[in-house]
């Protein structure tokens, strides 16, 4: 496929992120109006899952169906990768069968290797460095609620993980200010942080890494958190839960943000740990709208990257 595009990082949509968000809005409106939109009729998507998933799997599978296509779920148990076939060979073979590959992986290097050897578009459904599909949905949700992105302030409280990395890049691209409050040693990826800083200078936005969650939350338009223990970190559970306790997104923190601030969490949530029940179920929470928007954002990504819409 000549000139095929991959979505491995938020940097891959740097030039057309705003257009992608607009496309997500148009597709959502058509879906809600019951108007069929099937640019992927006759197309197939291979979905490779090394990690368990609720939102990623369901939104991609339903999204492909609604766009007129077909999605194929493949776990390591279903593939010869689990028995030693190389990622490169898997990429070459799957490219002969399908029109796109979505890969939810443990390691960024594996996603890059798959993309380098596939002749069809590869979409990163999550790896240890980034979660770009999540952040496309997040930015879409913020714009939907606030009518703009540029100049808004997002406070992220907790672990500087893959979601945080993609948020840093995404907010910098669209000109949002972002403050990350995290414990020492749990900062975002240094390389991606440096790239986000360069982008924020270009768009005139600010990017701060700090220790104090209260300082991050002040005057924020968006409060965002994620799990303290990601998949693969179970051995660190006790230590992390103790260390991150002061970084809980609770009512006290919410009162420091702007009056019309919204609360976000990419789910699954560990209620009572990184976020309290009264906040996730409270009037400022857009968490379940955010989860729904994974479907609409994913459909925009599929339509753009596979059908070239």
- The size of the chain, in residues, is 309
211-221 as b/e, with b when 16 or more CB fall inside 10 Å?
Answer: eebeebbeebb
Q: Inform me whether the pLDDT recorded for 3 exceeds 80.
A: no
Residues contacting residue 214 through CB under 8 Å, at least 6 positions apart: 253, 256
Question: Which of 149, 144, 156 has the alpha carbon at shortest distance from 174?
Answer: 149
Q: Inform me whether the pLDDT recorded for 82 exceeds 70.
A: no
Other CB atoms within a 10 A radius of the CB of residue 175 amount to 17
Q: Which two tokens stand for residue 273?
A: 């740990």
Question: Which of 92, 99, 140, 139 has the alpha carbon at shortest distance from 123?
Answer: 99
% residues pLDDT > 70 (the chain): 99
What confidence score (pLDDT) does residue 244 get?
Answer: 97
| Side-by-side strand order, sheet with 153-157 | 207-210, 177-181, 153-157, 222-225, 262-265
Query: 232 in the Ramachandran plot: left (φ > 0), alpha (ψ -120 to 50) or beta?
Result: left
The arithmetic mean of pLDDT across residues 153-168, rounded, is 98
The arithmetic mean of pLDDT across residues 3-30, rounded, is 97
The arithmetic mean of pLDDT across residues 45-52, rounded, is 94
Told to judge if 109 belongs to the known catalytic residues of this protein, a careful annotator would answer no
Q: Which tens digit of pLDDT belongs to each residue from 103-147?
A: 999 999 999 999 999 999 999 999 999 999 999 999 999 999 999
Told to judge if 296 belongs to the known catalytic residues of this protein, a careful annotator would answer no
Contact 35, 63 (CB under 8 A): no
The one catalytic residue among 55, 104, 240, 284? 104
Element (DSSP H or E) covering residue 8? none
Question: Which of 43, 12, 9, 97 has the alpha carbon at shortest distance from 302?
Answer: 43
The one catalytic residue among 55, 294, 296, 304? 294
What confidence score (pLDDT) does residue 231 get?
Answer: 75
**Measured distance CA(185)–CA(5) in Å, rounded:** 35
The one catalytic residue among 6, 159, 226, 240? 226
What confidence score (pLDDT) does residue 188 get?
Answer: 98
What confidence score (pLDDT) does residue 78 get?
Answer: 78
Element (DSSP H or E) covering residue 77? none
Told to judge if 134 belongs to the known catalytic residues of this protein, a careful annotator would answer yes
Going by the DSSP 8-state scheme, the letter that residue 208 receives in this structure is E
Contact 131, 53 (CB under 8 A): no
Contact 247, 182 (CB under 8 A): yes
Q: Inform me whether the pLDDT recorded for 33 exceeds 80.
A: yes
Told to judge if 131 belongs to the known catalytic residues of this protein, a careful annotator would answer yes
Can you list the domains of the chain with their CATH numbers?
10-131+294-305 (3.40.50.1370), 132-290 (3.40.50.1370)
Confidence of residue 160 (pLDDT cuts 50, 70, 90): very high
What confidence score (pLDDT) does residue 1 get?
Answer: 42
pLDDT mean across residues, the chain: 96
The one catalytic residue among 133, 164, 182, 266? 266
The arithmetic mean of pLDDT across residues 75-91, rounded, is 82
Told to judge if 153 belongs to the known catalytic residues of this protein, a careful annotator would answer no
Beta bridge partners of 223: 155, 263
Told to judge if 177 belongs to the known catalytic residues of this protein, a careful annotator would answer no
The one catalytic residue among 66, 112, 128, 134? 134
């Amino acid at each position: 496929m000549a000139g095929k595009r991959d979505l491995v990082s938020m940097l891959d949509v740097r030039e057309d992120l705003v257009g992608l968000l607009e496309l997500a809005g148009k597709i959502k409106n058509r879906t809600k109006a019951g108007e069929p939109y099937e640019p992927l009729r006759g197309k197939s998507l291979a979905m490779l899952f090394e990690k368990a998933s609720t939102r990623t799997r369901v939104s991609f599978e339903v999204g492909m169906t609604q766009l007129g296509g077909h999605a194929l779920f493949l776990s390591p148990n279903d593939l010869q990768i689990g028995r030693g076939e190389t990622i490169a060979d898997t990429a070459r073979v799957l490219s002969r069968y399908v029109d796109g590959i979505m890969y939810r992986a443990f390691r960024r290097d594996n996603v890059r290797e798959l993309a380098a050897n596939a002749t069809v578009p590869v979409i990163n459904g999550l790896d240890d460095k980034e979660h770009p599909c999540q952040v496309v949905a997040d930015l879409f949700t913020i714009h939907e609620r606030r009518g703009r992105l540029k100049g808004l302030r997002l406070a992220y409280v907790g672990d500087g993980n893959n979601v945080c990395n993609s948020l840093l890049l995404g907010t910098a691209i669209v000109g949002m200010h972002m403050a990350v409050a995290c414990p020492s040693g749990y900062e975002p990826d240094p390389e991606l942080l440096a790239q986000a800083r360069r982008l924020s200078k270009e768009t005139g936005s600010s990017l701060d890494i700090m220790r104090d969650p209260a300082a991050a939350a002040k005057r924020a338009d968006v409060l965002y958190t994620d799990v303290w223990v990601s998949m693969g970190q179970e051995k660190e559970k006790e230590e992390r839960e103790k260390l991150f306790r002061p970084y809980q997104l609770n009512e006290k923190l919410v009162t420091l943000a702007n009056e019309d601030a919204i609360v976000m969490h990419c789910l699954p949530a560990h209620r009572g740990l990184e976020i309290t029940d009264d906040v996730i179920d409270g009037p400022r929470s857009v968490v379940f709208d955010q989860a729904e928007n994974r479907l609409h954002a994913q459909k925009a990504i599929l339509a753009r990257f596979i059908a070239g819409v």
